[in-house]
Amino acid sequence: MEQDAQFAAEFNADVDVEKIAEIYAEAYLNAIETQQHSIDDAVEEFASLVDVLKAQPKFAAFLASAMISTEEKIALLERAFAKAATPSFWNFLKVVAKRNRLDILTPIFVQTKKLLDKRHKRIPVIITTATEIDSQLLSSLSAKLNNLIGGEPIIQCVVDPETLGGMIVRVGDTIYDASILTRLKNVRQQMIERSAHEIQRRRDQFHTSESDTAK
């Protein structure tokens, strides 16, 4: 029960962070659009900061710490980024800092990317195959997926030898599975179900025979 409660708490915390991050991400993109700046450039600028946070975990921990004042965090950010940052991004960082949300800069960036892809109808697609896909086949798949999903597929290729053959295409929460392994599993399951059905049929026949004998 304690483990279930802990999992539920962590899950709810993740969901809350994602929702909050999405609000900041949307506000950031809307501000960029209002100022008629390049959204792609703005996202790349954000990406550069996230790269720094990943490369310097102590710096990220400093910004996330509840023990450090907002003024100290803004002062450090100003020394490190203010001169190089665009005015719009610097203003965004100050807003996030003043609201004590520098601890979720990376989740905000993730949501910013997702929202930008959504606005540009760029749809993440994961293709899993047993071996690497050559460029010609990948180009053909991209064209077919474009028509299927009604947007530009952003394809991530994953090699998994257990796929055996065929491929598994994941578009969001939808999985298009054409792998040999899945077919084999399906056949095996069908055989199990048929065997179970046959056993049950014979049991029913046996019980029926016993009933007739008793009469």
> Which pLDDT score, from 0 to 100, does residue 58 have?
94
Q: What's the mean pLDDT in 151-172?
A: 84
Q: What are the residue ranges spanned by the domains of the chain?
A: 2-118, 122-178, 182-215
Q: Which pLDDT score, from 0 to 100, does residue 3 have?
A: 44
Judged against a pLDDT cut of 50, whether residue 31 lies above it is answered with yes
Give the pLDDT of residue 186: 67
Is 80 exceeded by the pLDDT of residue 177?
Answer: no
% of the chain at pLDDT higher than 70:
76
- Read off the pLDDT of residues 147-161 as tens digits, 9 standing for 90 and up: 888 888 888 999 988
| Full 3-state SS string of 8-42 | HHHHHHHHHHHHHHHHHHHHHHHHHHHCCCCHHHH
pLDDT at 97 over 90: yes
* Averaged pLDDT for residues 9-35: 80
Q: Which residue has the tokens 């949501």?
A: 111
Sheet holding 152-159, edge to edge: 152-159, 122-129, 167-171, 174-177
Beta strand spans in 54-199 (E): 122-129, 152-159, 167-171, 174-177
The mean pLDDT value of the chain amounts to: 81
Whether residue 125 is predicted with pLDDT greater than 70 in this model: the reply is: yes
List, in order, residues 6 or more apart from 63 with CB less than 8 Å away.
Answer: 53, 73, 76, 77, 97, 102, 103, 105
- pLDDT band of residue 207 (cuts 50, 70, 90) is low
Tell me: pLDDT of 92 over 80.
yes
**Average pLDDT over every residue of 169-174:** 82
Query: What average pLDDT does this structure show over 161-176?
Result: 80
Check the CA dihedral 31-89-27-30 and report its sign. positive
Which residues partner with 176 through β-bridges?
Answer: 169
Cα 5 to chain centroid distance, Å, stands at 24
Give backbone dihedrals phi and psi of 122, rounded to 5 degrees, phi first.
-100, 120
| pTM, entire model | 0.64
Encoded amino acid at 80, one letter: A
167 with 127: CB under 8 angstroms?
A: yes
69 phi and psi angles, rounded to 5 deg: -70, 155
Q: Which fold has domain 2-118?
A: Peroxidase; domain 1 (1.10.520)
Strands 152-159 and 122-129: parallel
